[in-house]
Amino acid sequence: MRGLRRLPLPLLRPPAHVELSLRINDEDHALLVDTRLTLLDLLRETLGLTGAKKGCDHGQCGACTILVNGHRINSCLALAVAHDGDVLVTVEGLADHGELDPLQSAFVDRDALQCGYCTPGQLCSAAGMLATEADRPSFVTGDLSGPPGPLDDDEIRERMSGNICRCGAYVNIVRAIADVAG
């Protein structure tokens, strides 16, 4: 074997795994996850909850929006390991025992979708926005010192700008959310 040089071992790092507990749509999960796994991939690939969608996978489209401890976030940019103990709600968890959430009903009534790919993200985003952010100003609120007042179309559009709809169903999405925002 003289003359043959020994090749260096490839510098591969072994995957690391971490134990994790999550409450997802009112169900407790004890999991062992690769540290690289995002919440989105955990939901879709490991748990079969395919409601949250992978659009851009870079936080630019909002199709992956879910609620974490009541707040809307992009699950594609959230590492699962960083969410130990958190409470998650996905679009599968919005309805209450088969009874549609008011936002879901409004989206049906207002025909607020075309292909439907962005809809789970739109619904979770609107749910989080109405539940935790409606009493706070947005970029388009004139006077930041007080509460924003009832959400008009401009406010809804600004607050929902993290959810892209390539079909362009925005007009009816705004109407549906306005129905529920009252």
Partner 1 sequence: MKPFAYDRPASPADAVAALAGGSAQARYLGGGTNLVDLMKLGVETPDLLVDVSRLSRDTIAPTPDGGLLIGAGVSNTELAADPAVRRRYPVLARAILSGASGQLRNQATIAGNLLQRTRCSYFQDVSKPCNKRRPGSGCPARAGHHRELAILGHSTACVATHPSDMAVAMTALDARVRLLGPRGERTIPLSELYRLPGDQPDRETRLEPGELITAVELPPLPAAASSEYRKVRDRASFAFALVSVAAVLEIADGRVRESRIALGGVAPVPWRASRAERALRGAPANEQSFARAAAAELDLARPLPDNAFKVTLAGNLLVQTLLELSLA
Cβ atoms < 10 Å from Cβ of 11? 5
Q: How far is CA 22 from CA 29, 69, 144, 161, in A?
A: 5, 11, 36, 28
Which listed residue (2, 5, 6, 13) binds partner 1 by CB under 8 A?
A: 13
Secondary structure E strands in the chain: 17-24, 27-34, 65-68, 71-74, 87-89
Q: State the nearest-atom distance from the C-beta of 37 to partner 1, in Å.
A: 9
Q: State the nearest-atom distance from the C-beta of 47 to partner 1, in Å.
A: 20
Q: Is 79 in the site for partner 1 (CB under 8 A)?
A: yes
Which listed residue (19, 21, 71, 149) binds partner 1 by CB under 8 A?
A: 71
Binding part of the chain for partner 1, among 87-95, 105-113, 151-159, 165-173 by CB under 8 A, reads 151-159
Element (H, E) at 120: helix 119-132
In 3-state terms, what secondary structure has residue 122? helix
Which residue ranges make up the site for partner 1 (CB under 8 A)? Answer: 13-16, 18, 34-36, 38, 57-59, 62, 65, 71-74, 77-79, 81-82, 84, 125, 128-129, 133, 136-139, 144-145, 157-163
